[in-house]
Structure formats: C-alpha cells, structure tokens
Amino acid sequence: MHGSSGVGHLVDRHPDVTPERLIAQLVPPPTFADVSFDSYLPDPAEPSQAAAVQSCAQFCDQAVERRAGKKKLFGRRETLPGVGLYLDGGFGVGKTHLLASSYYRLPEPKAFATFGELTQLASVFGFVECIELLADYVVVCIDEFELDDPGNTTLISRLLSQLVERGVSVAATSNTLPEQLGEGRFAAQDFLREINTLAAIFTTVRIDGPDYRHRGLPPAPEPPSDDDVVRGAAQRPGATLDGFDELCAHLATMHPSRYSTLIEGVSAVYLTDVHPIDDQNVALRLVSLTDRLYDAGIPVIASGAKLDTVFSEDMLAGGFRKKYLRATSRLLALSRQGDA
C-alpha cells in the first residue's frame, strides 16, 4: 500500500496527546460547530422533537440559575446542586445537535465530551483532580453515554454525582437502539439504574423519529475498485491511503483518545480491501475511529466489501450491537460524502 508516491498514510502517524490537549478538546466536534436550537428542524410528524428543544432550553436556564447559587446574608452564596437532562432516542434524531446547541447556549466554563473522552480525562488526571478541574463548570455535556462498560459507567456516575453536588449541571445523550423493546424506555431505565446516585436529578426526554441519515437514501453503494481508490487518493490533496488490515493493526498501538489527533488535517480517508470483522477488539477500535471521522466530517472511500457488512452478523448479535449499528450508519453517511 506504501507504493503510491506523495500520498500520506495513517499508519505512519504516531500522535501524542497531552493533558492540555485533552482539556482543549472538550468542545463539540466540527460537524456541530455552528448548530443552535434555531437550526434544529423538528420533524412535524414527531412532536417529541419540538418538545425536546423546549426541554433543552429550559435545562439551560436552570443550569445558569444553579451555577449562580442562592444568595445568603453578607453577599455570600450557597451552592445549589446542578440539574440533569438525559436525551433518549434512536440514531439520527438530532440528539447530538440538541446537546451541542445546549452547550453553545450556556456561558463558560463548560465542557462537551464523548463518554470515552470523559473516562480518558479521569484516567489521565485521576479521579479527585478531575473533579477539581470541572467543579466550577456550568455544564458538562456527555454525548453517547455508554451503558455496556460497567466499570467505566460506575466511575463516570461517581464523578458526575460529585460534580452535581458542586453545582455543575449535566446533560447526556443515550445510544439506544430504535428497535429496542419498549421503544427505548428500556434504555432510559438502564441508564437511571446504572447511575442511581444521579437518578433523582435527571429528567429523561424521549426523542422519536427515523434516522435522518437514512431518510430516503439508498442502501450501501457498490464499492469502487482498488485502482479507483488508489487513483482517487493520489488526486486529492491531504488524503490518506491505507490497507484496511494495516490500519486496524495500527489502531491497536494507541489509546482511542488519540484517534482525533491521528486524523487531524486529513481531507479524506481512502481504504483498500475492506472486509467483515470478527474480532470484537478490532471492531470496537473501528467504531471509535468512525466516530472521530464523523465528528470531523472526513469522507471515507473504501474498496472491498460493502461498508454495511463490516460488522458481521455474529457481531451484531452481541452486546455491542447498538455501537456497531451507529458506526455503520455513520460510515455510510461518510461514504456518501466521498461520492459527492
């Protein structure tokens, strides 16, 4: 794969992430850099979407009030506990759009992180230091709260409950499956049970609707040939070209928190020989990379198997089904950008 002249390769990049960089990254991804409540277009057929906008706006008002605290005698202020909002729903109904809009509506200091970035922050700084770091924030927004890693979920629950006590408000989105039993109520209950220390402060808001990434869109397109991919990469400034297996092996050499830095400045990712994955670890790393590519809006052009077959049926039958379906939805959206 390294024969092509002048084209960079992700496998040649070895990014490093400093604590300062981790803090600087706590903002919404580039895809959501310009969103607002006004730019969210609720589906008229799904009244829960317009209602969710109202709930988010109300949450923002409450978060500011809580951070200000309660006036006491002699001008001192008493800290009021923060409020919590949990946006529950399937893929592509605009949960991240609303979460990022809430972030932008609120004053500094504030943080926006994926669940993975937050666990990484806690592991780099330590639990107590992480609380000190965020204790004066107005809000911490967490995108895609994960319920499939009990250790991390418990850690983050403890972290959030301590922050809430100090006046920090918390907004989170779920990664529920649309077809889950009870249309997602199930996931909301799971969430509140997992973070039972926080359950009392969280208001759960359900957002219904079809995945907007698939609205009226055709299924996965036929993949281009290897030659087309190599040629396309050579013609696109800033593109990278890698073999699928080589890239998957390279991802194993670094913590997923470095994937953002790995793809920094890349205009498009070209891959050859894509095939279904049957190793859980490889698949989960690919999910993390896909999320970072999607956040940055970097197109993916891939030869080999169709992108909706990367996560095998066996994989989809397991506990990480919701992650794999989300990643498939995002890969297809990025491949359509590549076609554009």
Per-residue pLDDT of the chain (340 residues; tens, 9 = 90+): 444 457 888 988 887 777 777 787 899 988 888 999 999 989 888 899 999 999 999 999 999 999 998 777 676 778 888 999 989 887 778 899 999 999 999 999 999 998 888 888 888 888 899 999 999 999 999 998 776 666 777 788 889 989 999 999 999 987 654 344 333 444 556 666 666 666 667 788 888 877 665 555 557 778 999 999 999 999 999 999 999 999 999 999 988 878 888 999 999 999 999 999 989 889 999 999 999 999 889 999 999 999 989 998 888 877 777 788 889 888 998 998 876 5
Q: What is the DSSP code (8-state) at residue 47?
A: H
Query: Alpha-carbon torsion 262, 268, 271, 275, what sign?
Result: positive
CATH (residue range 44-209): 3.40.50.300
Cα-Cα end-to-end distance for the chain:
25
User: Between vectors from CA 28 to CA 219 and to CA 150, what angle results, nearest 5°?
Assistant: 80
Other C-beta atoms lying within 10 Å of the C-beta of residue 279 = 11
- Between CA 263 and CA 282 the distance in angstroms is 18
- Between CA 297 and CA 34 the distance in angstroms is 13
Domain(s) labelled CATH 3.40.50.300 in the chain stretch across 44-209
Is this structure's pTM higher than 0.75? no
Continuous segment of H or E residues that includes residue 272: strand 268-274
- Between CA 280 and CA 277 the distance in angstroms is 8
Cα dihedral 90, 95, 96, 100, rounded to 10, equals -170
Q: What is the DSSP code (8-state) at residue 265?
A: T
